Amino acid sequence: MNTKIKTHDGRNALITGTGQGIGQAIALALAGRGARVVVTDLSLPQDTLNKIGSAAFGLQLDVTKEEDWQSVSLKTQELGGVDIVVNNAGYFPNRPIDELDLATWRRTMATNLDAHFLSAKYFLPTMKKKKWGRFVGISSNMVGLTIPGMSHYITSKMGIIGFMRGLANDVAGYGITANAVLPGLTNTLATASQSDEMKRATWEQQAIKRLGEPEDITGAILFLTSDDASFITGQALVVDGGQYRVG
Ligand SMILES: NC(=O)c1ccc[n+]([C@@H]2O[C@H](COP(=O)([O-])OP(=O)(O)OC[C@H]3O[C@@H](n4cnc5c(N)ncnc54)[C@H](O)[C@@H]3O)[C@@H](O)[C@H]2O)c1
């Protein structure tokens, strides 16, 4: 995102899974727009804290654990509460349906879906008092693709879209919006094991013929969490260079 104005001045934004990849890029982008960012991950995301400097506040948060959400919500009260939540942390092992076990299914749902509900439970009360808030859930364009071995992941990422639709209805009267962002294949450590040929086979299906970088995803999040997007809620925004078309 190249706009320099401080659209997020005075806002506190919590982002999950910021140790690397898309989550780190989102944290840097929000900080660049003037937000104070609460950067969280399974362990303290030190690299991200170093890159952002004094605008960042680091906390450990395993998104599958309710006690972690509760503890983080208490600690962020000292900052004046959280105005923006970006649920980015994800779990996405490839498991063909015959190899998929219940433990993997449950971990996928806990990481990719429970987190959204728990964040709403713990951060809505302050947002309601402030009459302003933003939830963004990082889904995936894979919900519309024909990639095998990802039934659990696709279920969870469709669930994020469903949750944002439902949440949007419940919180609209408080100036709070809830939307999903659906990235396409993005160049992160999570996709590093894919060969260049595999990646090329994906990005050749896009209108914009190159592999997405984490920074390509951030513009949608900056917009949806800004005042400019106050009339946009319950939506799913695809950010994939034009691979998956809806409607
Ligand atoms: N990379 C892609 O091609 C791509 C495409 C579409 C959607 N996505 C989605 O974007 C998000 C980020 O993807 P990425 O490629 O940056 O992933 P990544 O694996 O590079 O980074 C994910 C981060 O989440 C953290 N994390 C994992 N489990 C966690 C938990 N239980 N609690 C807290 N943090 C946890 C990891 O420690 C890591 O820092 C995911 O939700 C993913 O599903 C990624």
In order of their start, the domains of the chain are 12-239 (3.40.50.720)
Nearest by Cα to 25 from 11, 39, 9 = 39
| Nearest of 179, 185, 178 to residue 239 by alpha carbon | 185
160 touches ligand 1 (CB under 6 Å):
no
Q: What is the largest CA-CA distance in the chain?
A: 51
Structure tokens at 234: 């319950």
pLDDT of residue 245: 86
Atom of ligand 1 nearest to the CA of 112: 41
* Parts of the chain with a pLDDT under 50: 1
pLDDT score, position 108 = 98
Ligand 1, atom 36, residue with closest C-alpha: 17
pTM for this prediction: 0.97
CB distance 19 to ligand 1 below 6 Å = yes
Q: Is 191 in the pocket of ligand 1 (CB under 6 A)?
A: yes
Q: What is the pLDDT of residues 78-96, one digit of tens each?
A: 999 999 999 999 999 999 9
Eight-class DSSP state of 107 = H
pLDDT of amino acid 51: 98
